[in-house]
Amino acid sequence: SAVGRGPEVPFRSEAYSISAIARGKELRLTLSALDPAAGPPAQDLVFRFGMSGSFRLCPAAELPRHAHLRFLTRESPPRALCFVDPRRFGSWRLGDAWQPERGPCVVSEYQAFRENVLKNLDDRAFDKPICEVLLNQKYFNGIGNYLRAEILYRLKIPPFEKARTVLEALKEQEQERRKKDPSLTLSKKVKLRRENADLLELCHTVPMEVIMAEKQLLDPEHPDNYSAFKNWLQCYLVPGMSSLRDRSGRTIWFQGEPGPMAPKGQRPRKTRCKKSPELKAEPEAASPQVTPRALKRRRRAAAKPLKSEEKEEEKEEQEEQADRPRKGRARGRRAVTAAPASPEAPLSVRRSQRTSARRGQGAAPAV
C-alpha cells in the first residue's frame, strides 16, 4: 500500500502459489510461480507481526484498513490475501533468513529449545526474574506477554523469582528422568510428563492449546472468536489478578506474591471486575447537562494511560459541575447555552418551570 513501511516486493507473476512456515514469532512466506520456466525465481518474505499484525483473505474491492501488503487472486471477482497491521508494529523483510538472535521455536523445535535453555543456565540472562527471561527470544522464541502470564500462573511460580533458581531445578529433574526405569513404555512416559509438566514443557503445550483452538476459532462460522479466547485465559487480564510492570516496562499479571526480585517502589494493582448492568445509575440520575462534548472527553480519558486516569476523572467531574446551571453565575449560564445536543428552552424558562414544579403549581411542559 502507499503507506506501508515495508520494502517493495520485487515479484511479479500472473499465476503463483504462496506457502508458509512459522518459527517462533516469525513467519516465512514463499512466492513461487506456477510455471518455474517462464516465471520469476521464488521470492521469500519473513514477517514479524508485532502486537496487531495478521493475514486476512477478503474481496479485493473491500480491502480492510491498514492492509499494507496484498496478494491478488485471479478469480472473478478477485480476492486479496492481506497483511493487516493497524498499529504498524509488524514488519517484513526480503529473504529466507530467520533472525540470528532467535533460539529454537518452542512449538516446532521443542527438544532443541529445551536443550538450548538447560545447557546455557550460566548465561547472565538468567540472573533476571523468570517473567523477564520468558520474553528473551534467544531462549524462549515464541513466548509473549499473555503466554508468560498463563504459564507461570498454572505452575504457581512467582513472576519475580530468579530465573536460574527456577530452571536449575528442571535440570536436576531432567537427570532423574534419565535414571528412571527404562522399562516404562512411551505412553506411560508421556502420561507422567503431562501429570507433572514443568515450565519448559508448558512453554510448548500452552501455545499448542491456542494453535489447536484457532483451527476452530478462526472458522468464519465462529465470528466471536475473541470472546472464546478471553474465556480460555486464566490469568492474563482476568479480573481479580494482580499486575506489575517489569524492568522492561511490560505488564505481568499474576496471583499471590510477586517474588523476591519485584521492582521496588511499585505496588501490585488488582484487575478490576467490570460492573454489572444492575450497578449502573438509575435513569433519574442521568443529567441533561451531559453533553456530547463531555462524552468525547470521557472517551479520550479511557484511551489514555492508566497513570492519568484518576486525574482525568477528577478534571471531568469539575468540568461537568461547571457545566451545570449555577444560580447567579454567568459562567454557569454560558456553559449551559453552549450545549449543542438539542434545542432547549431558555435558562430563565427552565428555572421557572422547576420552581413551579417544586411548589406544586403544575408540571413543567415537555420541551
Give a yes or no: residue 303 inside a domain: no
| Per-residue model confidence as pLDDT tens digits over 206-265 | 999 988 877 655 554 555 667 788 889 999 999 999 999 999 999 999 999 999 999 998
Kindly state the average pLDDT of the residues 298-307.
Answer: 50
pLDDT at 170: 87
Q: Which 3 state secondary structure label does DSSP give 145?
A: helix
Give a yes or no: residue 144 inside a domain: yes
Kindly state the average pLDDT of the residues 314-342.
Answer: 41
Give a yes or no: residue 252 inside a domain: yes
| Local confidence band at 172 (pLDDT 50, 70, 90 cut-offs) | confident
Whether residue 139 contacts residue 103, with contact meaning beta carbons closer than 8 Å, is answered with: yes
pLDDT at 332: 42
| Local confidence band at 36 (pLDDT 50, 70, 90 cut-offs) | confident
Q: Is the domain of 173 the same as that of 235? A: yes
Long-range contacts at 322-325 (CB < 8 A, ≥ 24 apart) = 323/289, 323/291, 323/294, 324/287, 324/289, 325/289, 325/350, 325/351
Q: Is the domain of 114 the same as that of 202? A: yes
Selection from 81, 73, 8 nearest residue 45 by Cα: 8
Question: Rounded distance, CA 262 to CA 93, Å?
Answer: 37
Q: Is the domain of 67 the same as that of 153? A: no
Q: Is the domain of 242 the same as that of 119? A: yes
Q: Is the domain of 126 the same as that of 257? A: yes
The residue type at 217? L
Angle, CA 127 vertex, CA 125 and CA 130 arms, to 5°: 85
Of 62, 94, 126, the one marking the end of a domain is: 94
Whether residue 133 contacts residue 125, with contact meaning beta carbons closer than 8 Å, is answered with: yes
Check pLDDT > 90 for residue 361.
no
Check pLDDT > 70 for residue 273.
no
pLDDT at 293: 60
DSSP characters over 332-355: HHHHHHT--SS----HHHHHHHHH
Q: Is the domain of 250 the same as that of 123? A: yes
| Per-residue model confidence as pLDDT tens digits over 131-148 | 999 999 999 999 999 999
Question: Rounded distance, CA 21 to CA 27, Å?
Answer: 6
| Local confidence band at 175 (pLDDT 50, 70, 90 cut-offs) | low
> How many independent structural domains does the chain possess?
2
Q: Is the domain of 229 the same as that of 151? A: yes
**For residue 77, cis peptide bond before it (omega within 30 degrees of 0):** yes
Of 210, 236, 269, the one marking the end of a domain is: 269
CATH code of the domain in which 80 resides = 3.20.190.10
Question: Rounded distance, CA 314 to CA 104, Å?
Answer: 50
Give a yes or no: residue 323 inside a domain: no
Range of the domain at 126: 110-269
Give a yes or no: residue 102 inside a domain: no
Q: Cell 533472525, residue?
A: 99
Non-local CB neighbours of 148 within 8 Å, separated by 6+ positions: 131, 134, 135, 159, 252
Query: Sign of the CA dihedral 6, 11, 14, 16?
Result: negative
CATH code of the domain in which 124 resides = 1.10.8.50
Q: Is the domain of 135 the same as that of 78? A: no
Q: Is the domain of 163 the same as that of 244? A: yes
Whether residue 196 contacts residue 296, with contact meaning beta carbons closer than 8 Å, is answered with: no
Of 269, 288, 304, the one marking the end of a domain is: 269
pLDDT at 243: 96
| Per-residue model confidence as pLDDT tens digits over 304-316 | 444 444 444 444 4
Q: Is the domain of 49 the same as that of 133? A: no
For the chain, percent of residues with pLDDT exceeding 90: 49
Check pLDDT > 70 for residue 300.
no
pLDDT at 323: 39
Check pLDDT > 50 for residue 346.
no
Q: Cell 490469568, residue?
A: 235
Task: Classify strands 43-48 and 26-33 as parallel, antiparallel or unpaired.
Answer: antiparallel
Q: Which residues pair with 36 in a beta bridge?
A: none
Kindly state the average pLDDT of the residues 329-357.
Answer: 44
pLDDT at 197: 84
Give a yes or no: residue 164 inside a domain: yes
pLDDT at 4: 81
The more confident residue out of 158 and 268 is 158
The more confident residue out of 162 and 64 is 162
- Helices 330-337 and 347-358, interaxial angle, to 10°? 100
DSSP characters over 295-337: HHHHHHHHHS-GGGHHHHHHHHHHHHHHHS--TT-HHHHHHHH
**What mean pLDDT is reported for the chain?**
77
Q: Is the domain of 89 the same as that of 235? A: no
Tell me the residue length of the chain: 367
Cα dihedral 53→125→196→107 (10° resolution): 30
| Per-residue model confidence as pLDDT tens digits over 41-59 | 999 999 999 888 889 999 9
For the chain, percent of residues with pLDDT exceeding 70: 65
> What element of type H or E holds 70?
strand 67-72
Give a yes or no: residue 11 inside a domain: no
Q: Is the domain of 159 the same as that of 38? A: no
